[in-house]
Amino acid sequence: MPILFFLIGGVILFFALSKYLNNKPEQFNNMFSKLLAVVFGLLAFLILIKGNIAMAVVLGTAAVLSWQGSLWTYLRSKADRSAPGKVSSSDNMSREEALKIMELTGNPNKEEIKAAHHRLMMKIHPDQGGSAYFAAKLNQAKDLLLKQ
């Protein structure tokens, strides 16, 4: 029951401070990470008192990482990488790499590129059990070859 009171109090405090710091996102993120660290720390303490040492260690570690800001950096990086089908714009693909992905050689014309794209997309499209990442790379290769 005390855990429920801590969670409710934390949510109320969070929304009260979010209204106050609405126009200052960096300050809000810093405040939220500190608040989350305190909540994790209190939960770790309560769980440690109840005797579950392993869970208390996990929550205590999350509290420390949240206080340092490392937890947010880690979660943000995982969220950026987990977007399905997203290919980074910094992925500069060479013409040779694009030809290899499209299983083409030489200097193909538009029709050959489109036919190869269609043939390969039928195999690796996510709706056919393929990978969204590979479908995005195939689209990137097609776009690169059609622009040249």
Shared-domain flag, residues 77 and 108? no
Shared-domain flag, residues 62 and 115? no
Return the CATH number at 100.
1.10.287.110
CA-CA distance, 115 to 30, in Å (whole number)? 52
The count of other CB atoms within 10 Å of the CB of residue 132 is 16
Question: Which of 81, 105, 138 is where one domain is finished?
Answer: 81
3-class DSSP state of 82: coil
Identify the CA nearest to 52 among candidates 7, 9, 6, 3.
3
Shared-domain flag, residues 18 and 61? yes
CA-CA distance, 31 to 25, in Å (whole number)? 10
Identify the CA nearest to 142 among candidates 27, 111, 53.
111
73 lies in which domain range?
2-81
Shared-domain flag, residues 10 and 72? yes
The answer to whether position 90 is within a domain reads: no
**Per-residue pLDDT tens digits of the chain, which is 148 residues long:** 666 776 777 677 766 666 666 656 666 677 777 877 888 888 888 889 988 889 889 888 888 887 877 766 666 666 655 555 455 544 688 889 999 989 998 889 999 999 999 999 888 887 777 778 888 899 999 999 998 6
Q: Say what the pTM is.
A: 0.41
CA-CA distance, 14 to 35, in Å (whole number)? 8
